Amino acid sequence: MPRYRLTIEYDGTPFVGWQQQTNGETVQGSLRVAIKSATGEDVVLQGAGRTDTGVHAKGQIAHFDLSREWVPTRIREALNYYLRPNGSIAVLTCDAVADDFDARYSATARHYTYRILNSRPHPVLEKNRVWHVIRPLDADDMNEACRVLIGHHDFTTFRAKHCQANSSMRTLDSLRVFRASNEVLIEASARSFLHNQVRSMVGSLKLVGEGKWSCQDLADALAACDRTACGSVAPAAGLYLMHVDY
């Protein structure tokens, strides 16, 4: 069966996450409805990253099979025709791929960006798009502290209680923090992440930025392999799945 790969943008605000479930609207569910409307087919839709409630994507990747061949751009146009009225999801690209391509298991790197609005006034034009942190953050200190987390570690401290991964070992390929005007941006890349890992790391890096934690405090938290050693998990609204490498 011909296989298609989608690049998807979504506003996570109205969704209870990517993964289809019974208790609310999901990105995966909405896309499957659009695919059904466009092609008449009930498909299995596999995504690269299972983003949580409120988490956004500028470059989520998913694949699905159809029983007959379509011109990929026609799939994109047809899906966007059905997605446009709601307006919270758009298909950016659609490509035909080999039938051994798997959006989840073929991925070699996932890239996330986390946005903090670091200002006294609350966000307005960026409402539901950033974490609002009032206390001034030292982005250089935060960036320095990234050294502690980069590399191959047991990330139990930065892992949601209900994370289903078999192992808590992960390799964080890159992590950097920088300031752009009144925003502090955190970019994280790895082959895969544990559940809530990025938001957990951001919550602890924020403590470093506020001067409450030193690099050593962060290193101790990592070494503790204990969920309770982690700072507060950063809110979903600031997190974006930016792109996925294959």
Binding site for a second copy (CB under 8 A): 9-11, 56, 58, 76-77, 80, 83-84, 87-92, 119-125, 127, 129
Separation of first and last alpha carbons in the chain: 21
Nearest to 244 by CA among 90, 92, 108, 151: 108
Nearer to a second copy, 51 or 204 (CB): 51
CB 58 within 8 A of CB 240: yes
For the CB of residue 52, give the shortest distance to a second copy in the complex, in Å: 17
Closest distance between a second copy and the C-beta of residue 124, in Å? 5
Q: What CA–CA distance (Å, rounded) separates 130 from 119?
A: 11
Looking at the Cβ atoms of 68 and 120, the one nearer to a second copy is 120
**Minimum CB distance to a second copy smaller for 36 or for 74:** 74
Q: For residues 132 and 202, what is the distance between their CA atoms, to the nearest angstrom?
A: 13
**Residue type (1 letter), 167:** S
Residue 69 beta carbon to a second copy: minimum distance, rounded to whole angstroms? 21
The secondary element (H helix, E strand) that includes residue 133 is strand 131-133
Q: What is the DSSP letter of 32?
A: H
Catalytic site residue 245? no
Residue 177 to residue 237: CA distance in whole angstroms: 18
Minimum separation from the CB atom of position 55 to a second copy (A): 12
Q: DSSP letter for 235, please.
A: P
Which residue, 175 or 186, has its beta carbon nearer to a second copy? 186
Q: Which of residues 58 and 195 has its CB atom nearest to a second copy in the complex?
A: 58
Q: Of the listed 52, 65, 138, 220, which one is catalytic?
A: 52
Centroid of chain to Cα 96: 24
221 within 8 A of 157, measured Cβ to Cβ: yes
Could you give the residue numbers annotated as active site? Answer: 52
